[in-house]
Chain A
């Protein structure tokens, strides 16, 4: 059992959790994830590591409330326990001195972008961060991102901040205006990672994305998380989760991610009445967000 030390509603559909998992905290590296199972009947689902504290023996995750599992997790309070957490899984990010690096992030991707930017900077890279959010109300952790970046920009869907609506627009303009980028990382929703990869492609800037297919075991045993990269089938949990965004077959990923929409809706509906009661303390639950 893994105790929840801290819980915070960041923005209406996104939650921050800190949980006790000292052994994972000791080994975690940027780019890795954990798999959780909330309770005895729960499914196994992955979340990226948004931070860890080796001394305190804790790890951080940020998650979007999507369906039954994330809703269950959201309904736990500080002091409650998560039944299973396994990790750190996946390969760590290759942190090298690239030069000028841009980290684009949206929604839950802001979490893993922070340890990434920090590690990149420690290796002597100059880090530009671009955070994409729907509107002012969905911006969070701007201060934390600033702390680990040389430059921070916001791209907001409603134009409330800056002139770019999307991180990909920022990247295109940045590259067009003659700035040099040696490497781009994009973490977050699939659509956003795909757009960022499209933006960098004409300029030949290598772009690393963190894929989020459906997973079960997370240890390479089931093949559920397979994706097609450069024409080859890869298991995201052991060969990734990070891949070259220019080689990913996005269509396969999106279609496989949507495989269980009907069952997900069924599971969610069944559980929602109980949950809403438990979650009552958390303000403003939005309508169920779409999968990709």
Chain B
């Protein structure tokens, strides 16, 4: 490719369900590129000598490589290249914050139209699912080397570490507290953003590598980390996520109808409350819903509430649009669907009725002052701006903390002051011998791809360490 290709700065848009239609169903919002669209978008990649895109990806996917294979019509090749670095492309292509990662560093961003890397990645992954025979998935069990590793938690970090180690010949047992594997991918991120069959496909693949998945196993309760080590596991990789929800700490928070985003999403996604009473788990939404916070989790909760039948769903956020942490794409999706953004607004208290059900929220408006330690402008109460809105459901979506079960039950595991496990970023090692950690438990709430990247580095280090220890 020596002639300088002509730059095409038109990103191919991804087909989506129409907003008014999708707001009433749980089917996937983005429909994915058709073949000609994918090839047209791939054709825009100029195969840079110094591809910036790769540096923006936490696991350094060979982006120009897989796009080149697509352009050459070698789809199995594209799958292989992609998966050599990212074992869950169907998931990352859908949920990675590409605009702050690979697409932010794509050389074309200076011209304003980076390659839609995530959408291409998704296209390649979905092609593989549709053509299961075309690519050798390496599903056969690797020859066992006789060493055993326990992986705790089956989110993206756990799935990645388990599959990497199984491929290297380790006997891997993956322990999961819930009744299904997948972590946040199953209980948190809604079906309309990440279909559960995709996650299930990845879990099945991990099983096909010989990984034993033991559901309903809360480590720290049914067995401690120390017991796992005593029972013959040579190493333990901790990936229990950071799933404990935080609340607003305002009066009225224990009223009925106040759900943490985690509870709201778990009832909806994991327990399928949107199919109640066909499924047994109930959920209450009512007419008006207030979601507090403006991250991805808040977007997911508000969009679920809408799909569950709410008439009005508010996102209540104390800062402005500029500071909003949610992905742009999700914010736009939410806006299109009719979510109402009440920015620079903060709650004072939740008000209930005699039955103890939430009925209203008192709020005040904010002005933005000087930046605080997070670098974002600090919201300050605007005097006299108090007002009340009537609501039937309140959903604090304020982020999560590490769950205390493993820290409390594991001797000699040093923690940071945020309650995460003190972990060496390059290797995943913890302060405890033979124990590694990765994902949200090591970093605090982060992203799918960063959890996978950490798990992959830990798998490499576990392998090296176990080989070294004879």
Contact = CB atoms under 8 A, between A and B. Distances in A.
Nearest to A85: B216
A43 B215 contact: no
Interface string A15-44: 000000001100100000000010001111
Contacts of A69: 280
B225 to A, nearest CB: 14
Given A226-B254, A256-B356, A267 B262 contact: no
B218 A84 contact: no
Interface stretch (B20-28, B241-249, B307-315, B460-468): B241-249
B271 interface: yes
A263 interface: yes
Interface string B261-272: 011001100011
Given A88-B222, A259-B284, A233 B253 contact: yes
B256 to A, nearest CB: 4
Contacts of A263: 276-277, 282, 284
A252 B358 CA distance: 12
Interface string A41-80: 1111000000000000000000000001100100000000
A219 B260 contact: no
A222 B254 contact: no
Q: How large is the interface on A (under 10, 10 to 19, 20 to 34, 35 or more residues)?
A: 35 or more
A85 B271 CA distance: 15
Contacts of B253: 233
A255 B356 contact: yes
Interface-centre pick from A24, A43, A235 (highest chain B CB count, 10 A): A43
B179 A84 contact: yes
B133 interface: no
B221 A223 contact: no
B221 A87 contact: yes
B457 to A, nearest CB: 26
A149 B281 CA distance: 39
B177 interface: yes
Contacts of B245: 221-223
B262 A27 contact: no
A235 B222 CA distance: 19
A222 B281 contact: no
Contact of B222 (A23, A223, A233): A23
A228 B356 CA distance: 14
B280 to A, nearest CB: 4
A86 B284 contact: no
A84 to B, nearest CB: 4
A169 interface: no
Interface in A224-250: 224, 226-228, 233, 235, 238
17 contacts: A23-B222, A27-B223, A37-B179, A42-B280, A44-B281, A68-B280, A69-B280, A83-B179, A88-B221, A216-B266, A219-B405, A220-B404, A224-B260, A233-B253, A238-B405, A251-B356, A252-B356
Closest 8 CB pairs of A and B: A255-B356, A263-B282, A259-B256, A222-B263, A86-B216, A43-B280, A223-B260, A221-B243
Given A220-B404, A233-B254, 20 more contacts: A24-B222, A41-B280, A84-B179, A85-B216, A86-B178, A86-B217, A86-B218, A89-B221, A219-B243, A219-B403, A221-B187, A224-B260, A226-B247, A228-B254, A233-B247, A238-B404, A255-B356, A258-B256, A263-B276, A264-B282
Interface of A: 23-24, 27, 37, 41-44, 68-69, 72, 83-89, 216-217, 219-224, 226-228, 233, 235, 238, 251-252, 255-256, 258-260, 263-264, 266-267, 270
